[in-house]
Amino acid sequence: MAINRKTKSRVEVAFIYLFFIIMFILIGYPLIWTVMMSINPGTNMLVTQLIPESPTLEHYKWLFTSPNSDYLIWYRNSLGVAIANSLGSVVITSLIAYAFSRYKFIGRKYGLYMFLLLQMFPALMGMVALYILLTTIGLADSLIGLTIIYLGGQIPFNAWLVKGYFDTIPRELDEAAKIDGAGHLRIFTTIMLPLAKPILAVVALFNFMAPFMDFLLPRIVLTSPEKYTLALGLYNFINDQFSTNFTRFSAGAILIAVPIALVFLLLQRYLIGGLTAGATKG
Partner 1 sequence: MASQKKFDLSQRRNRATLLSIIPGLGQLYNKRFLKGILLMVVTISFLITTWNYIDIGIWGLFTLGTIPREHHSIQLLIQGFISLIILAFGIAIYVYNLRDARKDAIAIEKGKPNPTLLQGVRDFYNNGFPYFMILPGLGMLLFIVVLPLLFMVALAFTNYNQYNAPPRKLLDWVGFDNFVNLINIDIWQDTFLNVFTWTIVWTVVATTLQIVLGLFLALLVNDKRIKFKRTIRTVLILPWAVPAFVSILIFSALFNPTFGAINRDILSQFNLIIPWLSDPFWAKIALIMIQTWLGFPFVFALFTGVLQSVPSDMYEAADVDGGTRAQKFRFITLPHILFATAPLLIMQYAQNFNNFNIIYLFNEGLPAVRGQNAGGTDILISWVYKLTFETNNYNMAAAITIIMGVIVMGFAFYQFRKTASFKEEGRY
Determine, following the binding rule CB under 8 A, whether residue 159 of this chain makes contact with partner 1.
Answer: yes
* Measured distance CA(201)–CA(263) in Å, rounded: 12
- Other CB atoms within a 10 A radius of the CB of residue 59 amount to 23
Residues numbered 192 to 221 that lie near partner 1 (CB under 8 A) are 209, 212-216, 220
Q: How far is the CB of 69 from partner 1 (least distance, A)?
A: 18
Q: How far is the CB of 19 from partner 1 (least distance, A)?
A: 7
Q: Which one of 84, 90, 99, 202 is in contact with partner 1 (CB under 8 A)?
A: 99
Determine, following the binding rule CB under 8 A, whether residue 120 of this chain makes contact with partner 1.
Answer: yes
Q: HSE-up of 8 (CA within 13 Å, CB side)? A: 5
Q: How far is the CB of 240 from partner 1 (least distance, A)?
A: 13
Q: Which one of 6, 11, 13, 110 is in contact with partner 1 (CB under 8 A)?
A: 13
Can you give the three-state secondary structure of 210-276, one letter per residue? HHHHCCHHHHHHCCCHHHCCHHHHHHHHHHHCHHHHHHHHHHHHHHHHHHHHHHHHHHHHHHHHHHH
Residues numbered 253 to 272 that lie near partner 1 (CB under 8 A) are 253, 256-257, 260-262, 264-265, 268, 272
- Residue closer to partner 1, measured from CB, 67 or 173: 173
Determine, following the binding rule CB under 8 A, whether residue 144 of this chain makes contact with partner 1.
Answer: no
Q: Which one of 192, 238, 248, 251 is in contact with partner 1 (CB under 8 A)?
A: 238
Dihedral over alpha carbons 94, 96, 100, 104 (to 10 degrees): 130
The region of 53-61, 71-79, 193-201, 239-247 touching partner 1 under the rule CB under 8 A is 239-247
Question: How wide is the angle at C-alpha 97 spanned by C-alphas 202 and 158, nearest 5°?
Answer: 40
The region of 60-68, 75-83, 98-106, 199-207 touching partner 1 under the rule CB under 8 A is 98-106
Helices (H), 103-142: 108-120, 127-136
Write the CB contacts of 8 (distance below 8 Å, at least 6 apart in sequence): none
Residues numbered 29 to 68 that lie near partner 1 (CB under 8 A) are 30-31, 33-34, 37, 45-46, 48, 50
Determine, following the binding rule CB under 8 A, whether residue 9 of this chain makes contact with partner 1.
Answer: yes
- Residue closer to partner 1, measured from CB, 143 or 149: 149
* Measured distance CA(267)–CA(263) in Å, rounded: 6
Q: Which one of 1, 3, 51, 129 is in contact with partner 1 (CB under 8 A)?
A: 129
